[in-house]
Structure 1
């Protein structure tokens, strides 16, 4: 099988952040001719490619409606426009929680809602639509939290309120990566709240390291993908990639922090070299 693939980024980072440096060669080994393009580059014929792969579209949050319209215009998009619409609004966490997935407790605050009664201890406020931890902050009850909430709401955001997971300070988050619905590898991410944005201004720099997740973390990640597929009415194999971000809860058990199906870094630099091959094989599977 041969074909053409477009890896999609954004104008500020036209070839991503370098994490996928091995992917074009792996695709070429399987007969795919690939190139990078920014999603809003009107000179590119995305419809002519056999597969269009979302990778680093990290400026979509401020232009989500435009981004969704573009996604719906691309017939061979992976992951699909339906998945993109669902996953770019973190309200999906409430749906997964209702479906029985162990999710970090999440309260949704609409743009016109008043500040709720703050929880005891530290908590996180972040926009429901956002990428790269932009707009996320860690607070205790008080004027600073109220001001941050008001600022996010003034921009029309629904806001997520979650108790801060103290395990992140010592363990970080665990990101489990799947290609074509099949587990590939995992890596840890150090706490990002309060860190500086990279020079592009699109994402918060992270300290990443390879990790071998426990059986409990693997099981929750698998359950998350099963529940997602059921909610969306698709097969897990239809997801070219998925990154399941988990943390250890106060009870010592894993909980879902976020599910990334649109533009996550996939940690190719934090795992074995054959991960790019596994990804390329999943691309081939999508076309088959």
Structure 2
């Protein structure tokens, strides 16, 4: 069988995709034929792949309509995991409404489609700090940490909205801002391992150190965090069924659940990434084994 790990050809992949090489080697050692096709390469014969696994098409926010159109067309040529209908739902953070509706604790948020809505949401969170981001983004692009009275908060929200996107306004999870968050990884619905993602946002907008840099270490999540992540993964089957998604959509091949821990309080979901998460193979080399075995199982189904 031939497995493709879907990517793109921009500098962000060359600089930041630290996983795909190891994953391709692991698949080859397991007896698969492999490739790393660029999603917008017109010369690729998608039907030549028995399975495409979405890995690092990280230029999709700038080419959103083009990418989603490609995804729909390619789904008619070969099998894609995670499933295209699941990705189409998960690509926009408004999917969090479906988890919250099922009683799964999420960091509070407000979605804003007009500058007036954004101004109201920002003012309503005073005096605490806030995070402003678009609902469709990768690598924390156009994401900022501000005080509510900082005019740059509304400026960012207005810029997001003017670009045709929805702005997401949240109270800053202070423990995350100061200490980071845990990322829990699941393959075929089973918990595999966890990593800790250090703080990245600089107050007033921008990144700590001046550029987007992830500081990743091993993590030992609490039982409450693992239970919360498991509830989120379990909920996907119900969400997919109720939305009429494909059979593949009900069980993600891969998933990363980012969780905010609150000292003395219950954990909350920050994000459930079912589209193009990094697996942090250099920190957790067992990710390759989990991934290859997950692919092997799905190829038998």
Instruction: Calculate the TM-score normalised by the size of structure 1.
Output: 0.91
Q: Aligned partners of 1:172 and 1:20: how far apart in 2?
A: 25
2:244 is matched with none
In the TM superposition, 1:143-182 aligns within 5 A as 143-182=151-190
Q: Aligned partners of 2:27 and 2:114: how far apart in 1?
A: 43
Q: Aligned partners of 1:261 and 1:285: how far apart in 2?
A: 18
2:105 matched to 1:102? yes
Q: Which runs of 5+ in 2 are unaligned?
A: 242-246
Query: Once structures 1 and 2 are overlaid, which stretch shifts more, 14-23 or 52-61?
Result: 14-23
Q: Which runs of 5+ in 1 are unaligned?
A: none
2:168 match: secondary structure: strand
Query: Once structures 1 and 2 are overlaid, which stretch shifts more, 48-57 or 28-37?
Result: 28-37
C-alpha offsets along residues 181-236 of structure 1, whole Å, 9 cap, x if unaligned? 1111110001122327999xxxx220000111111110000001111221112578
Query: Once structures 1 and 2 are overlaid, which stretch shifts more, 24-33 or 48-57?
Result: 24-33
In the TM superposition, 1:233-252 aligns within 5 A as 233=241, 238-249=251-262, 252=265
2:140 matched to 1:133? yes
2:213 is matched with 205
Change (3 A) 1:137 1:213: same
Query: Once structures 1 and 2 are overlaid, which stretch shifts more, 231-240 or 243-252?
Result: 231-240
Q: Aligned partners of 1:196 and 1:186: how far apart in 2?
A: 23
Residue 84 of structure 1 deviates from its aligned partner by 1.1
Residue 28 of structure 1 deviates from its aligned partner by 1.4
CA contact (8 A) 1:190 1:207 kept: yes
2:299 matched to 1:287? yes
1:74 is matched with 74
Q: Aligned partners of 1:126 and 1:276: how far apart in 2?
A: 31
In the TM superposition, 1:16-55 aligns within 5 A as 17-55=17-55
1:220 is matched with 228
C-alpha offsets along residues 238-282 of structure 1, whole Å, 9 cap, x if unaligned? 3110000001137522100011111110111111x3321210111
Residue 166 of structure 1 deviates from its aligned partner by 0.7
C-alpha offsets along residues 99-158 of structure 1, whole Å, 9 cap, x if unaligned? 111000011101465321330210101001111100111111222212111111111111
Q: Aligned partners of 1:250 and 1:187: how far apart in 2?
A: 18
1:135 match: secondary structure: coil
2:169 match: secondary structure: strand
Give the aligned length: 281
CA contact (8 A) 2:195 2:216 kept: yes
Q: Aligned partners of 1:118 and 1:148: how far apart in 2?
A: 17
CA contact (8 A) 2:236 2:250 kept: no
C-alpha offsets along residues 9-50 of structure 1, whole Å, 9 cap, x if unaligned? 111056662223321121112221111121111111122201
Change (3 A) 1:251 1:63: farther
Q: Aligned partners of 2:3 and 2:197: how far apart in 1?
A: 29
2:6 is matched with 8
